[in-house]
Chain A
C-alpha cells in the first residue's frame, strides 16, 4: 500500500530535549516536505526536499533541521524544542513537486506538546 508514515504519532517532551520525528514514504517520490498546522494559521511549510541531499527552507524553518540521506526518509529534527513548537506536524511527499497536476500525499500527523 502506497503511504507516508510518521513516527511517533504523539509526543510529549520538555523544553530543550532534542527530538526527531521520522517520515518515510514507499512511493519512490523525489519531493518530500514538512508542515506544521496551528489553529487559525493553516498549514505552513517548514522545510522541503526536491531529492536526496537537496533541502530548502520553507516559510517557518527556525528551530528545525532536516536531512535527506535516502530517498524514502526525511526526518525532522528539533535540536532544542520550545513551547512555541507545540503543534501538529505533517510530512508529505509527491513525485517531483513541480507538476501542475501532482498529488501530494500526507502522512497521518504527529502531535507534539513541548512543556
Chain B
C-alpha cells in the first residue's frame, strides 16, 4: 500500500461549484497534514495545514481530517478558473521520523 493515496484525476468542476479533493494515508503516527497547490511548471505552494480532527476553514478552502479513517480532504468553495492546478497532499511523519511524504497529486480543472 502506498503511504499516501490520491486520485490523480483529472477532476473537472464547473466554475462556482465546490471542488472536493481527497487523500488517504497509511502512517497512523502522522502528526499533521498539508495541502499544496502546484501550477504547471511551478513549485508547490502551501494552502493549508491541519493536525486536529475536524474541519479547518481559511477563506474558500476547508480542510477536513479524520484520523480514525486516515483520511484528509480539501474543499474549495466557489471554484474559480485560477484554482485550476494540481493539488498535493502531504503528511508529516511521527516523532522521530519527521519526513514530509507527498501524494502524487490530483489535477483539478475549473470549467468556466
Contact = CB atoms under 8 A, between A and B. Distances in A.
Given A90-B44, A107-B43, A48 B99 contact: yes
A103 interface: yes
B44 A42 contact: no
Tell me the interface secondary structure of chain B in the complex. Answer: loop
B68 to A, nearest CB: 18
Range, interface on chain B: 20 to 34
Contact of A106 (B31, B41, B45): B45
Given A40-B8, A43-B88, A58 B99 contact: yes
A42 to B, nearest CB: 4
Contacts of A107: 43
Contacts of B34: 104
B102 A101 contact: no
Nearest to A56: B99
Contact of A42 (B42, B49, B103): B103
Interface string A85-115: 0000010000001101101101111000000
Contacts of A58: 99
Contact of B46 (A44, A45, A98, A103): A103
Contacts of A40: 8, 104
B92 interface: yes
B100 A106 contact: no
17 contacts: A35-B102, A42-B88, A42-B104, A43-B44, A45-B99, A48-B99, A90-B43, A97-B98, A98-B95, A100-B31, A100-B51, A100-B92, A101-B51, A106-B43, A107-B43, A109-B42, A109-B43
